[in-house]
Structure 1
């Protein structure tokens, strides 16, 4: 496969077109950060308002990944990805034409949906590549596509500068950035590519069935115990949005009564999601249906993968946000120097995520690969917690890049397993696991923002307090990583057919296998054996 990656034929064409679709979705999703200074100056925004926009950018990504996963399983990746990319132009153009802060907030909330695009390609790639190659293929998709965030950071300021046609601030003489055309342009490019994508890909290879769940309203489980486990694991998805609502209240975006209304809506969202899952699984719960042994799967495996994505992708989003300030404050660097060093963390995606998938393919055990990479990440974060001004800067950079490798390789390893859990619900599984990455990011960033306040007793944080907060922040991520590594080693199971030439159920029909139990007979619940 390594030699064929450079080709643009067959399944490799699908892979390249799909990772570039993901790349563009991340360019759009992260198009504010590199232009935020100019937006702040043009609107006269406060630091708190700019941070609010950053929070809004990720707020709806959590439910969006769940919904996208459902649509994906029902309609297929081709039409879902195409429509999402075309949709991206709408909030980009609204943001680009905004005249006040409220319009900026609304546009960023809508743009959070575009961040859910990652989920779509997971299933598309899984349809075209066999289990023995799924790790590397998904790693290339995730790693090269994820680089869109770094590409936005490096290119958008330059492009926005060109589009200003040499205009400068009359007071400071600094070059102005035409952020409106820059951000609007990313949406238009994404929409055009969405049309191109629709006419150049198909959901699965010729002659193979695109397997769909009987209903995409909620995740289908195969035992009563797993249904209640699913209800438990859905709680953090709404809970983290309640935390976000609280943070938006703290920055005075709205009053406390509005926050309570938002909380009530989020509780309603959880209940609605629970109702949909109940409708999908009601025959199982009432005893009218029981699954054949070969058609069962254990939801505990999905839950563990959700936790791995909290600690790897969740921590990556958090670290990318704080790393420039960390290097700037710890080593007394300029903003430009600190930014370039911090960028090495994102650059590692090009190699680390495919590398994690390749290791998962070649090592012979996907669960052990997951455990080892997660443990390496945990140890790396604990070591980064000891980095201080007395460290040799090149050594600190090497440690950062090494830690980055384990984080992103762990992400690749996670999605080398996701498509092998249960093929017909791959979109929903990928959506839930991906959403947990955003749960982790919000949780980590909330802790990071509150630590200086807690340590300084609500007073103005000093340099020493900030350094202590950074240490504790890295230690929290390190300990979380080691706990999840323990769970992977002892409780994660090797998926059936992890290294097979074909998917286990590739030749079966899309309808699930189950046995109907007559009401006159007592129902005995069978627990999954895998």
Structure 2
């Protein structure tokens, strides 16, 4: 549980830092003479760097563990947060947003950490709550930064100085979260990677093996695509929503911040709700339930996104639809990471990174196509983004696990989870016991085949009474 609280809070702080600028954009825009294109480019920069950082983070988690990987990326990106207070041109604004955005790679260590600490029946909920409470930073910062700005201004600072001082708050939060991860974190239930490698209790894997088993698993690529249009859309909305309501409905900065905050604050229950739904569907229908749940929720989110773009004539309707949309698109994120831990065990970190990186790619593409410059009105861009969500969710129908089935097909006769995961290890590696943790996971994931599969497996277990075997 210490890993749970450290992971979500450190990710929360990174989200606060990355999206500290959007709530103050009307002020920063006037100070630096930013154009619509400058703002669009900065929004793209804030999420583009994390694409590669998340893939690298996943690999680092597989090789050195989530504790060191998470603390390292948080500390390396902290200077960029502090430098936000001294920017004086559009180019410097773009650079600090670009380098600060690398910190979002801590999401991967958060999901890897939870997938390592919690068992299959609860992994969806653990990933959903940790990711959701971390993403909550995107909503909290919409409230935090305007409040800090007003407090600093009341002390006697000018608006020019006040918004610059405000950036020290997310910088300090991010610094202390990294120190806490290093001081109190632990990679696995039985110790840190370094200790486990030294004692021989854990196999020290190679980058080549981790990479090969990740990139050759087509399920990882599909989840990366679909995640681009749930989490990626969430990032895009975080970048534009405050300015959209400020400009479209002529509300003041504080009101725009409150509306934008309601979108991100929904993560308090929406993403955890998605993770909980994934686990519940698994208990009723196995892996096929997880897949159907993700497709249904994300498709409904796409429909609501289209509606949000259409009802731009009404302030009240726009706010109501945006809040409803936030619940579905964020729940889809939780449902996605209810599936990711089952794709691969040997390359769990890298596949988590690929999926997380897909979210950033989706955000970048969406920003470039719909919200950069004046090609589309913002409300038109939102409508088209909803259509992309619906289209890019369809490939979920192609995901198939031989031992559990897919959305439209049942499992292959005789296929087992142990066989599926053991393919990632050579015969020599299996003889040396390198796949021991993978075998335990396969045994614990029996209910992913559905209730009948789980009960059938339990009926085959054997216990020994007075030295004699007995089937129960």
Task: Find the aligned partners of 1:385 and 1:102 in 2 and give their Cα distance.
Answer: 31
Q: CA deviation at 1:491?
A: 3.4
Q: Does 1:215 align with 2:206?
A: yes
- Report how far residue 490 of structure 1 moved: 4.7
Is 1:132 equivalent to 2:121 in the alignment?
yes
Match of 2:386 in 1: 478
Shift in Å at residue 98 of structure 1? 4.5
Matches within 5 A, 1:329-348: 333-334=251-252, 336-348=254-266
Aligned match of 1:370: 294
Moved more, 156-165 or 402-411: 156-165
Spell out the pairing of 1:225-236 with structure 2 (5 A cutoff).
Answer: 230=215
Give the whole-Å Cα distance in 1 for the aligned partners of 2:94 and 2:388.
32
* Structure 1 residue 203 corresponds to structure 2 residue 187: yes
Match status 1:413 vs 2:335: yes
Which residue number corresponds to residue 469 of structure 2?
Answer: none
Displacement after TM superposition at 1:45 (Å):
4.6
- The answer to whether the 8 A contact 1:61-1:115 is kept is yes
TM-score (norm 2): 0.75
- Give the whole-Å Cα distance in 2 for the aligned partners of 1:79 and 1:64: 15
Aligned to 1:87: 76
Q: Decide whether the 8 Å contact of 2:57 with 2:108 is kept in 1.
A: yes
Contact 1:213 1:424 in 2 (8 A): no
- Structure with greater helix share of residues: 2
Q: CA-atom RMSD, angstroms?
A: 3.3
- Can you give the 5+ residue segments of structure 1 that lack an aligned partner in the other structure? 1-11, 170-174, 231-297, 455-465, 499-503, 517-529
1:72 alignment counterpart: 61
Contact kept in structure 1, 2:312 and 2:379, CA below 8 Å: no
Identify the range of structure 1 (104-113 vs 56-65) with the bigger mean alpha-carbon deviation.
104-113
1:437 matched to 2:345? The reply is no
- Alpha-carbon distance between aligned partners in 1 of 2:142 and 2:179, rounded to the nearest angstrom: 25
Question: Following the alignment from structure 2 to structure 1, what is the Cα–Cα distance between the partners of residues 95 and 37?
Answer: 16
Query: How many residues of Structure 1 are paired with residues of Structure 2 in the alignment?
Result: 404
Task: Name the SS of the counterpart of 1:442 in structure 2.
Answer: helix
* Residue in structure 1 matched with residue 320 of structure 2 by the alignment: 398
Q: For the residues of structure 2 that align with 1:218 and 1:93, how far apart are their CA atoms?
A: 38
Given that 2:302 and 2:390 are in contact with CA atoms closer than 8 Å, whether structure 1 keeps it comes out as yes
2:4 maps to 1:15 = yes
- Does structure 2 retain, via aligned residues, the 8 Å contact 1:367–1:493? no
Structure 1 residues 497, 138: CA separation in 2 closer, same or farther (over 3 Å shift)?
farther
Task: State the partner residue of 1:107.
Answer: 96
Deviations 1:285-336 (A, max 9, x none): xxxxxxxxxxxxx712112111211111112222333334555566565554
3-state DSSP of counterpart to 1:453: coil
Kindly tell me: are residues 37 and 323 of structure 1, through their superposed partners in 2, closer, same or farther at Cα, counting changes over 3 Å?
A: closer
Which residue of 1 is the match for residue 225 of structure 2?
307
Distance in 1 (CA, whole Å) between partners of 2:212 and 2:75 is 33
Distance in 1 between residues matched to 2:238 and 2:265, nearest whole Å: 11
Whether the 8 Å CA contact 1:378–1:480 is kept in 2: the answer is yes
Tell me if the contact between 2:143 and 2:261 (Cα under 8 Å) persists in the aligned partners.
no
Unpaired runs of 5+ in structure 2? 283-288, 407-416, 429-448, 450-472
8 Å contact from structure 1 (residues 214, 512) kept in 2: no
Asked whether the 8 Å contact 1:211–1:423 carries over to 2, the reply is no
Question: Contact between 1:167 and 1:176, CA under 8 Å: does it hold in 2?
Answer: no
Cα distance, 1:43–1:485 mapped onto 2, change above 3 Å: closer
Q: Once the 2 structures are TM-superposed, how far is the Cα of residue 350 of structure 1 from its aligned partner?
A: 1.0
Are the aligned partners of 2:125 and 2:276 in contact in 1 as well (CA < 8 Å)? yes
Q: How far off is 1:513 after superposition?
A: 1.8
Other structure's SS at 1:60 match: helix
Change (3 A) 1:151 1:495: farther
Q: Write the distance in 2 (CA, Å) between the matches of 1:214 and 1:185.
A: 39
Alignment map for 1:205-284 (pairs within 5 Å): 205-206=189-190, 214-216=205-207, 219-221=210-212, 230=215
Tell me which residue corresponds to 2:310.
386
- Indicate the residue corresponding to 2:44 in structure 1: 55
Residue of structure 2 in register with 1:351 after alignment:
269
